[in-house]
Amino acid sequence: MQNQQGQTHQNMHTGDISQHMNHGGHEVFDVQEVLSGTIGTLNSYTLLRQHVQDPELKDILERQYQFIQDEYNTTVECFKSGQDPSKPTQSYKMKQGNDFVYGLKPSQPKKPLQSVNEITDECVSSCMLGSVKSCATMKTTAALETTNPVVRRVLADSIPNSIEMAYELSLYQNKHHYYQVPQLAQQDMQQMLNAYAPAQGQQNMPNNNTTH
C-alpha cells in the first residue's frame, strides 16, 4: 500500500513537471540570459533618461522602455507557467521614416567619456542602440534552443521588435550625423549587386542510387 501511494505521488509530481516545467536545461540558461539582459536594458534606459536633451529622443526612449517592460513581463509569465501569456505578444511600431543619408561628413574623433557632464544625445542613443542589438542576439540564441513551444513563440515574436527598435535608433542617429553610412564607389557597388544570379530550380532532385 505504501509503495502504491509513493508511486501515485511520483506520477502526480511528474505530471506537474510536464505541465508547468517543460523546459530544457539549455533553454533555462538562455532565457535567463534574455531576462537578465532585458533588465539591464531597462536599467540603462532609466539611468540615461535624465541626460536626454532632444524631445524626439526622449519620446523614443519612453516608448521603447514601455514596450520592452511589457514584453519582459510577458516572457516572465509564460516562462514560469509554460502556458500562453494572459496578454498577446505585440509588434513595435517606430515613428521614424526609412530614409538613410549616405556619405561621410567631417566629424570629431570619438573617445570615451571622462565625466557624466559629457553625456550627450549621441552618447545616449548609442547606448540604447547597443542594448537593443544585444537583446536581439540573445533572443535569437535562446529561441533556437527553446523546447517549450509557448516560450519559443514569444521569444521568436519579440526578435523583430528588437530589430525595429535598433533600426529606429540608427535612423535617429543617422539623421543627426551621429551614425554615418559610407558607400562603395558606384562601379564597385554595381559589380557587387550583379555578383549573384538566381538559382535554377528543379522539381526532382538527382537520384544517386540509379543503377546502370
How far is residue 92's CA from residue 136's CA, in Å, rounded to a whole number?
13
How far is residue 89's CA from residue 151's CA, in Å, rounded to a whole number?
11
Instruction: Quick: pLDDT tens for 105-152.
Output: 888 888 899 999 999 999 999 999 999 999 999 999 999 999 999 999
Name which of 101, 183, 168 is nearest 133 in CA terms.
168
CATH superfamily of 25-100+119-178: Ferritin, core subunit, four-helix bundle (1.20.1260.10)
How far is residue 151's CA from residue 154's CA, in Å, rounded to a whole number?
5
HEC per residue, 150-200: HHHHHHHHHHHHHHHHHHHHHHHHHHCCCCCECCCCHHHHHHHHCCCCCCC
For residue 15, is pLDDT > 60?
no
Bridge partners of 103? 181
Is the alpha carbon torsion for 71, 75, 76, 78 positive or negative? positive
* Domains of the chain by residue range: 25-100+119-178
- pLDDT level of residue 14 (50, 70, 90 thresholds): very low
Q: In terms of pLDDT, which residue wins out, 119 or 14? A: 119
Name which of 143, 154, 144, 139 is nearest 37 in CA terms.
139
Instruction: Quick: pLDDT tens for 175-204.
Output: 999 999 998 999 999 999 999 999 887 777
**The pLDDT value given to residue 178:** 92
Judge whether 57 and 121 are in contact, CB under 8 Å. Answer: yes
- pLDDT level of residue 99 (50, 70, 90 thresholds): confident
Name which of 41, 86, 85 is nearest 67 in CA terms.
41
